Chains A and B, each alone.
Chain A
């Protein structure tokens, strides 16, 4: 079974600064994806960034980037130039291809509450 662990229950950062959220996972699979989701107070789940396990290059989306260390099974999220709107719960998630073109369930970590201070 796959597990995803986020060891930081809460983090805080000053506006315009950089913050890194940690995530580790455990799997014996080779073909999988990793995601970071954001859940603001509205509770809507918003996809922030995704990483394919077979790609060595780290994914980047504007101010969001990841540090994917496959051998260490680590997948951290870096938020640069933090903005007040980044305040939210952040979830790391894992999905693997069990065969065919469908992927099945997402396995989520426990979440990290990020607060951006003005």
Chain B
């Protein structure tokens, strides 16, 4: 059973461009979570999705950030008009329908130049 997949692993964007981060959960997992890790800090929750539904987006910035988890395909975290402060590692985690543990992907490191 493959683990949580994230791509790309590294992404460089110029200020004002769009960044799209993808996450494929583990097989059988229907819950996806996105976390952001700024340099030298812990992970901060952004959004929790189930298939075609956003369950909790209390950690998402109000502007420029959006997330989706369609019926088919990976979950996407989109950041529009990126700014230098968006530079961070973005982690995706998934969990099964029943269960407490979240399994993390390797992360996407976003650098905004």
Contact = CB atoms under 8 A, between A and B. Distances in A.
A104 B55 contact: yes
Contact of B42 (A42, A47, A104, A111): A111
B101 A108 contact: no
Contacts of A44: 104, 106-107
A92 to B, nearest CB: 9
A91 interface: yes
Contacts of B50: 102
B31 A106 contact: no
Contacts of A33: 100
A106 B45 contact: yes
A105 B106 contact: no
B31 A43 contact: no
A105 B59 contact: yes
A43 B106 contact: yes
Q: How large is the interface on A (under 10, 10 to 19, 20 to 34, 35 or more residues)?
A: 20 to 34
A107 interface: yes
Contacts of B55: 102, 104
Interface in A34-57: 42-45, 47, 50
B56 A110 contact: no
7 contacts: A44-B104, A102-B97, A102-B98, A103-B95, A106-B102, A108-B44, A111-B42
Interface of B: 31, 33, 35, 41-45, 48, 50, 55-56, 58-59, 89, 91, 93, 95, 97-104, 106-107, 109
- What are the 10 tightest A-B residue pairs by CB atom distance, in nearest-first order? A45-B104, A108-B42, A105-B45, A101-B98, A108-B43, A103-B100, A110-B42, A111-B42, A33-B100, A44-B106
